[in-house]
Chain A
Amino acid sequence: MKVRALLGLLAGLALLLAGCGGGSGASAASPTSGDAAPRTLTVLAAASLTETFNAMKTQFETDNPGVTVRISYGGSSDLASQIVNGAPADVFAAASDATMKTVTDKSLTAAPPVSFATNVLQIATQPGNPKGIATFADLAKPGLKVVVCAPPVPCGAAEQKVEKATGVTLTPVSQETDVKSVLGKVSSGNADAGLVYVTDVTAAKGQVQGVSFPEAQQAVTNYPIAVVKNAPQADLAQKWVALVTGEFGQKTLQAAGFGAPQA
């Protein structure tokens, strides 16, 4: 999983470099085209948005010639602390209200954040669900190797909420530091089941099987987006937020399994 992501990143970097090379060559040939100066929009986004935001990046770059969108994916709290510590960024899309709050608490957004998607937990099992897991309570069965996110991470906080709502206490074999690691432990066959987001199961394309459970609705995760204060490309940042909250963005997100934004 991670290796593939890394390869994708490398390929992306190579493309980016190739693109830059071509761009500078073109501008050297026609130095008079002044207004089409290449601009770069920097977006910090939660790792769970990787597939959807990459699709939106392609759309955005087609709509806005001369603009390159650079997206840095990571754990929401990592990204939040980067903004708090002064990393240059235009847009921040977080996977939880709590992480966005660490940024708004320091008045580091240009406007109040808006919700653009929601996500719920789902049980990921081995393909074919050999252990016959049907409910959240099944995860507490003895002898089952269950992996969850650690409580400080957003997906772990959601899992704790579900435990509280159901009264079922899980005894996981590991509390991973992010949701993709949970997925990896299941898809590599080392864990029987894991709690991840619906969208992670969709993105895993058959490497794991998803089992929905009604209690997941007790812990809906909200995804807020905001333009960062003093963004170097403030106008482009606004356009990006409009794209994400607009028709194309919403269609892309919902195709990936995200829920409609919170009112």
Chain B
Amino acid sequence: MTLTDDASQAPTAERRQDRRHERDVALPRWMWVPAVVGFLVIALPVLGLLVEADWRRMPELLTSDAALAALRLSLETAAASTVLCILLGGPLAAVLARGRLPGLRALRSVVLLPLVLPPVVGGLALLYLVGARGLVGEGLRLAFGVTVPFTTVAVVIAQTFVAMPFLVVSLEGALRTAGERYEAVAATLGASPALTFRRVTVPLVLPGLMSGTVLAFARCLGEFGATITFAGNLQGTTQTLPLLVYLQRETDDAGAVALSLLLVVVAILVIVVARPRNTEGLR
């Protein structure tokens, strides 16, 4: 018990000291200019959405069957994908950070691929792997009569594919920063690897895990390219919010703007709910 407390509190204390120091360090004045421009680059487009919005039609636009179905599907699939990211990406990050394997560096490059690839390419790759004539898809169809594209499962697979690297990168970084000292001490005190992992490693990297989880969830919510190429688009089954926004824009700009704002609100909620731990993790 005391072991856990010490492990998780030691870095917090250090961090507080860091913060006190930061107040004394003055920022070069020129830095404000690019900082403000950078902020505007992010903030102004969102402001543009707000200006464009048709507030009187907003309630009607946001409560249409399609909008509600898409919001629900987006939240459900993003949650399912995030859980998958944690279950699979967590151990993957641990292996990458602590494993002693030849070729680990090459393995890491592969894991980072979805960060660099355009999502559409990821969707195509998934389609050729799990699609009707794909390597795995054909086998699934012949053996079980199961086809993956056009199902909600396909949406979850697409989201997991694009989001997992975010979790792996955050968590691996946290694991490396935390180092192995506390684990080593726990081991000398007679703790088994499993107990050390549960009582020392997990509490130590919890902020990193949290920030990774938030990033992964956010990436899942915004997923568009891989979903549209791999899963298709059908209300209630595969039509997530970004897909609906893209389609609405064809005929109804006001509807597209309203749904975009809905996504902005969801995104802000995600950031606000997770913020305290999230920023700690990024420090």
How far apart sit A81 and B234, CA to CA, in the bound complex (Å)? Answer: 25
B89 located at the interface, meaning its Cβ lies under 8 Å from any Cβ of chain A in the complex: no
How far apart sit A190 and B252, CA to CA, in the bound complex (Å)? Answer: 30
Q: Is the CB of B133 within 8 A of A173?
A: no
B14 located at the interface, meaning its Cβ lies under 8 Å from any Cβ of chain A in the complex: no
Nearest CB in chain A: distance from B235 CB, A:
8
A177 located at the interface, meaning its Cβ lies under 8 Å from any Cβ of chain B in the complex: yes
Give residues of chain B (197-233) contacting chain A, Cβ–Cβ below 8 Å: 228-229, 231-233
B131 located at the interface, meaning its Cβ lies under 8 Å from any Cβ of chain A in the complex: yes
Give residues of chain B (129-157) contacting chain A, Cβ–Cβ below 8 Å: 131-133, 147, 149-150
Contact A190 to B250, CB < 8 A, known contacts A145-B150, A176-B233: no
Nearest CB in chain A: distance from B250 CB, A:
4
How far apart sit A172 and B234, CA to CA, in the bound complex (Å)? Answer: 8
Contacts of A177 in B (CB 8 A): 228, 233, 243, 246-247, 250
Which of chain B's residues has its CB closest to A171's CB?
B234
B150: contacting residue among A81, A150, A188, A190, CB under 8 A: A190
Contact A190 to B131, CB < 8 A, known contacts A77-B250, A152-B251: yes
Chain A to chain B contacts (Cβ below 8 Å), 28 pairs? A75-B250, A77-B250, A150-B233, A152-B250, A152-B252, A153-B247, A153-B250, A173-B150, A174-B231, A175-B233, A175-B234, A176-B228, A176-B232, A177-B228, A177-B247, A177-B250, A181-B228, A185-B149, A188-B127, A188-B128, A188-B131, A188-B132, A188-B133, A189-B131, A189-B132, A189-B133, A190-B131, A191-B150
Nearest CB in chain B: distance from A4 CB, A:
12
Q: Is the CB of A147 within 8 A of B124?
A: no
Nearest CB in chain B: distance from A188 CB, A:
6
Q: Is the CB of A174 within 8 A of B127?
A: no
Contacts of A173 in B (CB 8 A): 150, 232, 234
Give residues of chain B (241-270) contacting chain A, Cβ–Cβ below 8 Å: 243, 246-253
Residue among B124, B131, B247, B252 with most chain A CB within 10 A: B247
Q: Contacts A152-B251, A174-B238, A176-B233 given; 7 further ones with Cβ under 8 A?
A: A3-B124, A77-B249, A175-B232, A177-B228, A181-B229, A188-B127, A190-B127
B251: contacting residue among A77, A176, A189, A190, CB under 8 A: A77
Which of chain A's residues has its CB closest to B128's CB?
A188
Contacts of B133 in A (CB 8 A): 188-190
Query: CB within 8 Å of A: which residues of B?
Result: 120, 124, 127-128, 131-133, 147, 149-150, 228-229, 231-235, 238-239, 243, 246-253
Q: Is the CB of B149 within 8 A of A190?
A: yes
Nearest CB in chain A: distance from B249 CB, A:
8
Contacts of A175 in B (CB 8 A): 232-235, 239
A2 located at the interface, meaning its Cβ lies under 8 Å from any Cβ of chain B in the complex: yes
Contacts of B248 in A (CB 8 A): 152
Give residues of chain A (146-196) contacting chain B, Cβ–Cβ below 8 Å: 147, 150, 152-153, 172-177, 181, 185, 188-191
How far apart sit A177 and B247, CA to CA, in the bound complex (Å)? Answer: 7
How far apart sit A183 and B142, CA to CA, in the bound complex (Å)? Answer: 24
Contact A174 to B247, CB < 8 A, known contacts A3-B124, A188-B133: no
Nearest CB in chain B: distance from A139 CB, A:
15
How far apart sit A188 and B124, CA to CA, in the bound complex (Å)? Answer: 10
Q: Please encode chain A, from 95 to 131, with 1 for each CB lying within 8 Å of some chain B CB and 0 for all others.
A: 0000000000000000000000000000000000000
Q: Is the CB of A174 within 8 A of B150?
A: yes
Q: Is the CB of A174 within 8 A of B131?
A: no
Nearest CB in chain B: distance from A105 CB, A:
13
Which of chain B's residues has its CB closest to A147's CB?
B232
Give residues of chain A (199-246) contacting chain B, Cβ–Cβ below 8 Å: none
Q: Is the CB of B232 within 8 A of A150?
A: no
How far apart sit A31 and B124, CA to CA, in the bound complex (Å)? Answer: 49
Sort A-B residue pairs by CB-CB distance and give the 8 closest, nearest first.
Answer: A174-B232, A152-B250, A173-B150, A152-B251, A189-B133, A189-B132, A77-B250, A190-B132
Which of chain A's residues has its CB closest to B231's CB?
A174
Contacts of A147 in B (CB 8 A): 232
Contacts of A145 in B (CB 8 A): 147, 150
How far apart sit A24 and B134, CA to CA, in the bound complex (Å)? Answer: 48
Nearest CB in chain A: distance from B140 CB, A:
13
How far apart sit A29 and B243, CA to CA, in the bound complex (Å)? Answer: 53
How far apart sit A31 and B48, CA to CA, in the bound complex (Å)? Answer: 47
Which of chain B's residues has its CB closest to A77's CB?
B250
Residue among B131, B147, B149 with most chain A CB within 10 A: B149
Nearest CB in chain A: distance from B138 CB, A:
9
Contacts of A188 in B (CB 8 A): 127-128, 131-133
Nearest CB in chain B: distance from A194 CB, A:
11
Nearest CB in chain A: distance from B246 CB, A:
6
Contacts of B234 in A (CB 8 A): 172-175
Contacts of A75 in B (CB 8 A): 250
Which of chain B's residues has its CB closest to A172's CB?
B234
How far apart sit A75 and B239, CA to CA, in the bound complex (Å)? Answer: 20
How far apart sit A81 and B238, CA to CA, in the bound complex (Å)? Answer: 27
Which of chain A's residues has its CB closest to B131's CB?
A190
Which of chain B's residues has its CB closest to A153's CB?
B250
